[in-house]
Amino acid sequence: MTSQKTVDVFLLAENRLLREALIRLLNKRGDMRVVGANPYSPSVHEEVIATRPNIIVLDSTGLVFSKARLIPTLHTAVPEIRVVMVDMEPDENTFLRAVREGAVGYVLKDASAVEVAATIRSVASGEAVCPPMLSATLFRTVAQQSAPGATFAWGAGLGLSRREQQMVELLRERLTNKEIAARLNLSEQTVKNHVHHILRKVGAPNRSTIIERCELERYRAGSA
């Protein structure tokens, strides 16, 4: 009988208790081995290269607070590596950012030991895994990006992120922050934060000017 291949796992998490809990959980599995466990640091890439794990289990803190594009950098260092994100809450923005950067597994911190182990095994075998509650987010995002009329990204030439470009589209519909929050399934405070960032990036004093400058950008792009 062929023995099951051991999955080498590197834990990259800011929270020490989480790291220790995952070490205990995974080392109890006969087909998994923790080859490294550290908080995020600029030198962590060297440790990943040295251990060459199959899977990196990444705490969302490292993704959110790292200015570098952490997951693509890790993929560059070890191309065959696969990334599983562990997050405290099912936050759509963090989830979509992780997927865009290359994560193929996503679990919540309240997941059971069986669920975490199953996710790691599935990802190691080439599958992608995320909680059912976030599957709808993924489908909706792809559908919005593929919808007729969605080919022009409002504000792309002004340095706006994809989420901010999406916000501009809704601002053009004259929606309030509360209405935008309901449309995107976000908190109203999150929408306010996005609008504030857009105002700063575009250099606009108000929402109407955001629309004007983005429409001007579209006109210039079409005339180029």
pLDDT digits (tens, 9 = 90+) for 19-68: 999 999 999 988 999 999 998 887 888 888 899 999 999 887 766 545 55
Does residue 90 or residue 132 have the better pLDDT?
A: 132
User: 165: left (phi > 0), else alpha (psi -120 to 50), else beta?
Assistant: alpha
> At what angle are helices 207-223 and 188-202 packed, to 10 degrees?
50
- Domain count within the chain: 2
For residue 178, give the H/E element and its range: helix 177-184
Question: What is the pLDDT, as a whole number, of residue 166?
Answer: 84
Three-class secondary structure of residue 36 per DSSP: strand
Lowest-pLDDT choice from 66-70, 116-120, 144-148, 173-177? 144-148
Residue 166's domain comprises 152-223
More confident residue, 120 or 210: 120
Q: Of 86, 108, 137, which residue is a domain's last?
A: 137
Q: What is the CATH number of the domain that holds 214?
A: 1.10.10.10
Long-range contacts of 195-199 (CB under 8 A, 24+ apart): 195/167, 195/171, 197/164, 198/155, 198/160, 198/164, 198/167, 198/168
Residue 7 and residue 121 in contact, taking contact as beta carbons nearer than 8 Å: yes
pLDDT the model gives residue 2: 44
Residues 41 and 119 in one domain: yes
70-83 average pLDDT score? 82
CA 116, 37, 127: angle at the middle one, nearest 5?
35
Amino acid at 38: N
Q: Is the pLDDT of residue 71 over 50?
A: yes
Residue 145 placed within a domain: no
3-state secondary structure of 148: coil
Q: Which of 39-48, 60-69, 119-128, 172-181 has the lowest mean pLDDT?
A: 60-69
Angle at CA 67, nearest 5°, toward 64 and 72? Answer: 85
Whether 109 and 132 share a structural domain: yes
- Would you say residue 143 lies in a domain? no
Q: Dihedral of CA 67/71/76/77: which sign?
A: positive
Residues 72 and 99 in one domain: yes
C-alpha to C-alpha distance for 129 and 19, rounded to whole angstroms: 21
219/133: higher pLDDT: 133
Q: Is there a single domain that holds both residue 132 and residue 156? A: no
Does residue 184 share a domain with residue 83?
A: no
Whole-model pTM?
A: 0.62
Give 223's pLDDT tier (boundaries 50, 70, 90): very low
Greatest mean pLDDT among 107-111, 126-130, 135-139, 178-182 lies in 126-130
Statement to judge: residues 121 and 186 lie in one domain:
no
The answer as to whether 61 is a domain residue is yes
Same domain for 205 and 162: yes
Q: Are 118 and 190 found together in one domain?
A: no
> 129 pLDDT band (50/70/90 cuts)?
very high
* Same structural domain, 49 and 112: yes
Q: Which of 204, 190, 95, 188 is nearest to 155 (CA)?
A: 204
